[in-house]
Amino acid sequence: MSGRDPDRRRALLDAADRVIMRDGPEASMAAIAAEAGITKPILYRHFGDKHGLYQALADRHVRTVIAQVRPEFTRAGAGLRDRARAAIGVYLDLVSANLNLYRFLFHRAGAEDSRVRSHMTSLVRGLGEELGGVLAVERVVPDPVRAQVLGHAFVGMAQTTGDWWLDHPEVDRVQVVEGLVDVVAAAVAPRTERGRLTRRGARASHGAAR
C-alpha cells in the first residue's frame, strides 16, 4: 500500500468527503479512517500527517470551485453584469450545496493550520489576479493596477458575503446575487457615471428622509 498511489489517495479523499458531508465540520479523523477501512496512522501515512490531508482536501475542493467559476467570468460575448451574475451564482450554489465541506475547510482546517490557511488564501488570490487580468485585457478597467485592485476586491467580496449568506438562509439568493452584481457594475462604471449614480442615490435617500 503506497502513499503515492493516486487511486488509493482518491479513495481516501472520497471517504473523507462522505464523513465530512455526514458529520459536519467537526468530523473526526478516526471516523474518516473507519469509513476508509483503515486506522488513523495508515490514513496519515498516505498524506504525511493530518495537515497533509487537510491540504489535499483544500486542493480538491477549492480548485474545483475555481474551475467552475472561471469560465463564467471569462465567457466571451457576454456583458459584465451577466458574467458577474453567472459567476457569483455558481459560487453560491457550490458552497451552499457543500456546506459542511466549505465550513470544514475554511473554518476548521484553516483555523487549525496556518499552512492550510495560507494555501487556500493563495488559491483564492490567484483567482483575484486572474479576474483583474481579464478586466484589464478587455479594457473594462483600463488601468491595470486598478483592475487588479478590483479583481481581488470582487473575489473577496463574493467570498465574505457568501459566508454571511450561509449563516442567513432566510435571505433570498437572488437578492444576494443582484446586490453583489450592482456593486461590481458600479465599481467599473466610468467616473462620470459613478458620480451620477451617487447623486441619484443621495437624492433618493434625501427624499425618503423627508
C-alpha cell at 90: 455558481
Same-domain check for residues 16 and 106 = no
Distance CA 175, CA 146 (A): 27
- The per-residue pLDDT for range 133-192, each reduced to its tens digit, is 999 999 999 999 999 999 999 999 999 999 999 999 999 999 999 999 999 999 998 864
Distance CA 175, CA 113 (A): 34
Distance CA 115, CA 118 (A): 5
Nearest to 80 by CA among 141, 128, 125, 2: 141
Distance CA 92, CA 158 (A): 8
- Show the domain range for 25: 1-48
Do the domain assignments include residue 56? no
Mean pLDDT of the chain: 89
Q: What pLDDT is recorded for position 95?
A: 94
Same-domain check for residues 116 and 191 = yes
Do the domain assignments include residue 54? no
Distance CA 83, CA 78 (A): 6
Q: Give the helix/strand (H/E) hosting 197.
A: helix 191-209
Same-domain check for residues 122 and 195 = yes
Same-domain check for residues 115 and 155 = yes
Q: What is the mean pLDDT of residues 30-37?
A: 96
Which of 6-20, 39-53, 109-123, 187-201 is least confident? Answer: 187-201
Same-domain check for residues 113 and 204 = yes
Do residues 54 and 112 lie in contact, with contact meaning Cβ atoms separated by under 8 Å? yes
pLDDT at 204 over 60: no
Distance CA 118, CA 98 (A): 21
Distance CA 56, CA 13 (A): 8
Same-domain check for residues 112 and 145 = yes
CATH of the domain at 30: 1.10.10
Nearest to 188 by CA among 130, 142, 122: 142
Same-domain check for residues 40 and 76 = no
C-alpha cell at 18: 462522505
pLDDT at 1 over 60: no
CATH of the domain at 162: 1.10.357
Do the domain assignments include residue 153? yes
C-alpha cell at 83: 458574467
Same-domain check for residues 193 and 117 = yes
Do the domain assignments include residue 70? yes
Number of domains in the chain: 2
Do the domain assignments include residue 55? no
Do the domain assignments include residue 53? no
Same-domain check for residues 41 and 67 = no
Same-domain check for residues 89 and 34 = no
Same-domain check for residues 119 and 146 = yes
Same-domain check for residues 86 and 152 = yes
